Amino acid sequence: MRIFAISGSLRTGSYNTALLRAAEHVAPEDMQFDHYDRLADLPAYNQDLDGDDPPAVVTDLRDRIHGADGVLIATPEYNYSIPGALKNAIDWASRPAASSSLLYKPVALMGAAPTNFGTVRAQLALRQCFVWIDAKVVIKPEVIVFRAQDRFDADGNLTDETTSAMVKDLVTALRDLIRG
């Protein structure tokens, strides 16, 4: 089972990228992760560029999502919402609508932030995006890692057992949604 894993953070040392590594570590053995590392390379969505020959980085994004059985997103929260780079990737991946790489695709969301509310609002905004796209989003469990700096060590390893258990439950729920 192939999982396309995307962190909404461009930051070196990102808690969300670390959260994806933790998810891979606790995931069931039948899940293989394809970590996306080209988020910063995507041009801003422009329908003029989205014709018969879109940019190669866009084709790569779409092909990798099409080839995956499910998608796992770890997002930070910027200004009560989704980081622009992540929203841009979703815009590229969801077009054209009739053949969107996200159409009916199982998706799970999680996020980490240093604040006391974690990524509650960003995940809500992501859920709204996926309604229109017709992706199949895991509803529960929700993984909202607040005060992330207290849950990861200096090397970016998740050290909090409760958070690790929640992440494991989320990837298991994603696997179950994929299996139908």
- Dihedral sign for Cα atoms in the order 5, 67, 127, 96: positive
Give pLDDT, residue 88: 98
Place of tokens 């590392």: 37
**What's the pTM value of the predicted model, to 2 decimals?**
0.97
Give pLDDT, residue 179: 96
Give pLDDT, residue 109: 98
* CATH class (in words) of the domain with range 2-179: alpha beta
Segment-wise mean pLDDT, segments of 10 residues, the chain, 180 residues: 98 97 97 98 96 96 98 97 97 94 98 94 96 95 96 96 98 97
Give pLDDT, residue 11: 95
User: Three-state SS across the chain?
Assistant: CEEEEEECCCCCCCHHHHHHHHHHHHCCCCCEEEEECCHHHCCCCCHHHCCCCCCHHHHHHHHHHHHCCEEEEECCCECCECCHHHHHHHHHHCCCHHHCCCCCCEEEEEEECCCCCCCHHHHHHHHHHHHHHCCEECCCCCEEECCHHHCECCCCCECCHHHHHHHHHHHHHHHHHHHC
In the chain, where the domains are located: 2-179
Measured from the Cβ of residue 60, the count of other Cβ atoms closer than 10 Å reads: 14
Give pLDDT, residue 167: 98
Cα(127)–Cα(137) distance, integer angstroms: 7
Give pLDDT, residue 66: 98
Give pLDDT, residue 32: 98
Assigned token pair, 74: 């770890």
Rg of the Cα atoms in the chain = 15
